[in-house]
Structure 1
Amino acid sequence: MTTQPDHGQELIPRPERTPEAVRVALARVAPHRISDMERHKEQALTAAIADGKIGHLRHWLTYWQAQVEIERRPDLSARYRAALTAVHGTSSNDDPAFRSAMNELAAVEAEAQRAVSA
């Protein structure tokens, strides 16, 4: 685990950039998502074997690092859940609230990506 800038109360320290560390962290902050992570890992591994490119596995690890970042930081988690609630509360993709909520989801994911890439 590494020391990171203060974003308010963090549930756990940011994990190292290894599959096992990210999996352990996810199990602590969002255990209900472990099966999704494992399924995604199998898809990435299958794609990497099929085309001989390790990029699929790098993408998988980066994606799940960002998911852990969202879950471990209450500030990001609250924004993410509020945006999801707003998305699900709209009647169609044409609803202005839908676009606004989707923009907020993208902003949270981008912030998490930047945090784990720094």
Structure 2
Amino acid sequence: MTEPLDMAVNVFMNVFMPVVAAGCAWLGWTSLRRPRRSPLIMQGPGWLVRAWGLGYLLLGVGLAAEEVGRMVGEEPVWPSGPIRWIAGPLVVLSMLAGAVWRWRERHAGRVAGERRPV
């Protein structure tokens, strides 16, 4: 019973992970090229959107390198680890900075006297 399940999981992973890798790389590349057309979750100044796009591009390249290595039966490629250590914090920190930037933009119009009483 576990053999068909293992085979289904392997087929799913061999199809799904390259699609995820290509999607991450495509999303990162388009955000690098056109920062004004970035997804809604990553709106902000151009440098911030480009940092997010670079992180996603590196993440996609790292996933693709690892999957290609796995498909040919070799040990995972060595650059995929360092790429993930760079791409992960880059994506997370740029998303946090984007959230702070959007929060500041929303609250910039408030006057100090408009605070509600405690």
TM-score, with structure 2 as normaliser: 0.34
Q: Which has the higher helix share?
A: 2
TM-score, with structure 1 as normaliser: 0.34
**The structure with more radius of gyration:** 2
